[in-house]
Amino acid sequence: FFHASTQTFSKRQDDLSYGLRATSKKKFVKRDGRTQPPGPVKSSPDRTINIFEGMTTVELAKRTGQAISKLQDILLNVGEKVESEFDSLNIDVAGLVAMEVGVNVRRIHSAEGEKVLSRPAVVTVMVHVDHGKTSLLDALHQTSVAAREAGGITQHLGAFLVGMPSGASITFLDTLGHAAFSAMRARVAAVTDIVVPVVAADDGVMPQTLEAMSHAKAANVSIVVAVNKCDKPAADPERVKVQLASEGLPLEEMGGDVQVVEVSAVKKTGLDKLEEALLLRAEMMDLKARIDGPAQAYVVEARLDWGRGPLATAIVKAGTLSCGQIVVVGSEWGRIRAIRDMVGQLAAQATPAMPVEIEGLKGLPMAGDDIVVVDSEERARILGAGRKKKYEKDRLRKIEEERLDTPDVVEEVTERVEMPIIVKADVQGSVQAVTDALKSLNSPQVFVNVVHVGVGPISQSDEQVQGSCVKIAGCRVIDGEVTKTCTMRLLWSGEVVFEGSCTSLKRGKQEVETVAEGNECGLVIRDWHDFQIGDIIQCLEQVRRKP
C-alpha cells in the first residue's frame, strides 16, 4: 500500500473517472486533452473536529458524521490493519482518515490545548527484592511505608504525590521487586516519565534490575539509577557502575545521559542529589499537559472494597477527571461517584500526574486499562460491550493459536498430573502477577491449572469451585485387578481410613471397567479428596455364598 496525501488520493479518483462507461447505456465519455480534471476535494473550512491519540473508529465516525464501514475502507486503503471498530487509532491515521472525508482536524495531545500547564514528573521506582526501594521512598516522603509492608516486601503497587523540600512535586509509583511480579513492572513503565532502578551497593546488579531497565527502554522513558546502601562496609558503588555499563547502559560519566546517584536510605544521605537529578531530568523533558477537555488516564491498580464497590487507582495523563463524569475503563464502565487522593481525602477533580482512587464503576477493571470519558450511559454500555466482546474474541483466538502451534504439547499436558488452583488476592494487579507466576511453574510431571481468579476474601462460591475440582489418584495395580463396580478401601499405614464407591476409572484417556495387574490407571473415589503418595487402595467385591 502507498501512503498518499489527500490531494493525490482525490486526483487519482478524478483521473479514473475519465474514459469509463457513462451512466447512459452504450455511451462513453471521451476525454478531451484540453480538459483538466477537477481540483482536489477541499475540506470544509467551518467543519473542524478534535482528535486524540487512541481514539476508536467508532469515536471518529461519530465526530466526522460518517459510517463506520466507510472509515474502515479508508483505513484499509492506507494500509492500516482493521480488526474491530473498537481498536485504538494512531492520531496521525485518525487525521488522515478525517481529511479523506473532507473534515479539518485539531489534534489534542497531552501538551496541546487551550490551557497548558507544567505538570509533575511521574517517577516509577523499580528494584530487585530487598534492595531498599521502600525505605528509600520512606526517606523521601518521611512516612513509615516500610514498617507497614508484610514481610518487608511491597505487596502491591502504590501511587502518591511527594512534595520535595525545593517546593517541586513528584508523583511516585511504587512497584514490587520480587521475580514473580514482572507483569506489574511492565504495566507501570507505560505510564511513567522517569524510571529509577534501585541497586544495592553491596549486592550489585540483579536480574530484576536488568528487567526494570529493559521495561524502561521498551517504553522509551528516561532512567536515573539510585545506588542504595552506600553506608554499608561491603558497599562498592564503582562495581555497580561497571556492571551497569557492561549491560549497555550509557552512564553520564562515560559520555551517556543516564545519571547514577549514590544514596543511603537509612542514613538519609544523597537524597538531595537524587531529588536534584530527578528534577533536572524532568526540567529537560519540559513536561506539560493540557488541563482542559476530556481526561486521558490509566489504571495502575484495582481492588474490590465490600463497602464501596470496585475501586481503581489511576494516573491522569492529560485533561481533568471530575466527579459525575461517565467513563469507560477497559471493558467496564460507570459514573464516577467519588474521587479520593492518596491520603483518602475527597476531591472534586483530578488533574494531570495526580494519583487518585475513583469509585462508581460497575465492575472491576484490569490494571493497565485506559479511562475514556463519554457523554452518555448508552454510549458507555455500547463501548464497554464492544470492548468486552473483542477481549473475549482475542482470548479465544490466542487459545486456538496456541493449540494449533503446539498440538504435541497440548497432548502431553493431558497426560500430566493436573493441579487445579484458585487465586484470590487483595488487588487486581497481584492476581495477574500471581497467576503468571503459577503458570510458569509447569513441568513435565505437573500441569498447573488456574481454574478461578478473583479479588477479595475467599467466598462461599470459591469453596464451591474448589469442591467441584475432582481429585484423581494415579495408581499402579500390583495384585489382582481393579473393577469399577467394586468398593474402594483406602489404607494409611495399614489402617483403614475410608471406604467408598469408584466414580471414574481410566486407562490413559479412556474410561474402562477393569484394569489388570501391572497396569497404571487413574481413579476417583466418591467423597474423598485427600490422596497421598504411598496410599494403598484395596478393591473389595461382595460375593453371596449359599449357606
Grid coordinates in use for 48? 473542524
Burial of 27: CB neighbours in 10 Å, binned 0-12, 13-18, 19+: exposed
List strand residue ranges (DSSP E) for 402-445, in order.
417-425
Give residue 323's pLDDT: 93
Residue 313, pLDDT > 90, answer: no
For residue range 144-179, list pLDDT tens digits in order. 344 444 444 333 346 777 776 667 788 887 654 434
**3-class SS string, 104-152:** EEEEECCCCCCCEEECCEEEEEEECCCCCHHHHHHHHHCCCHHHHCHHH
| pLDDT at site 360 | 93
CA dist., res. 273 & res. 227, Å (int): 12
Query: What's the rounded mean pLDDT across residues 34-47?
Result: 43
Q: For residue 237, what pLDDT is reported?
A: 86
Do the beta carbons of residue 61 and residue 67 sit within 8 Å?
yes
Q: What pLDDT, on a 0 to 100 scale, did the predictor assign at position 199?
A: 86
Residue 88 pLDDT greater than 50, yes or no: yes
**How far apart, in Å, do the first and last CA atoms of the chain sit?**
93
Cell 492476581 belongs to 431
Least-confidence region, from 181-195, 256-270, 479-493, 505-519: 181-195
pLDDT exceeds cutoff 80 at 64: yes
Q: Are 303 and 322 in contact (CB under 8 A)?
A: no
Residues composing the chain: 547
Lowest mean pLDDT among 48-52, 186-190, 301-305: 186-190
104-108, 333-337, 343-347, 504-508: which has the minimum mean pLDDT?
104-108
Closest Cα partner for 457 from 419, 504, 482, 424? Answer: 424
Q: If pLDDT is split at 50, 70 and 90, which confidence band does 470 have?
A: low
Percent of the chain predicted with pLDDT > 70: 72
pLDDT of residue 145: 43
Which secondary structure element, helix H or strand E, spans residue 247, and what is its range? none
Mean pLDDT of the chain: 74
What digits encode the pLDDT tens for the residues 200-228? 888 888 877 787 777 777 767 788 988 88
d(CA 150, CA 390): 38
Distance between CA 200 and CA 214 in Å, rounded?
A: 18
What is the rounded CA–CA span in Å between residue 340 and residue 349?
9
What domains sit in the chain, N to C, each tagged with a CATH number? 6-108 (no CATH), 116-289 (3.40.50.300), 291-386 (2.40.30.10), 406-468 (3.40.50.10050), 473-540 (2.40.30.10)
Amino acid at 8: T
Q: Residue 432: enclosing H or E segment and its boundaries?
A: helix 428-439
What is the C-alpha separation between 355 and 350, in angstroms, rounded? 8
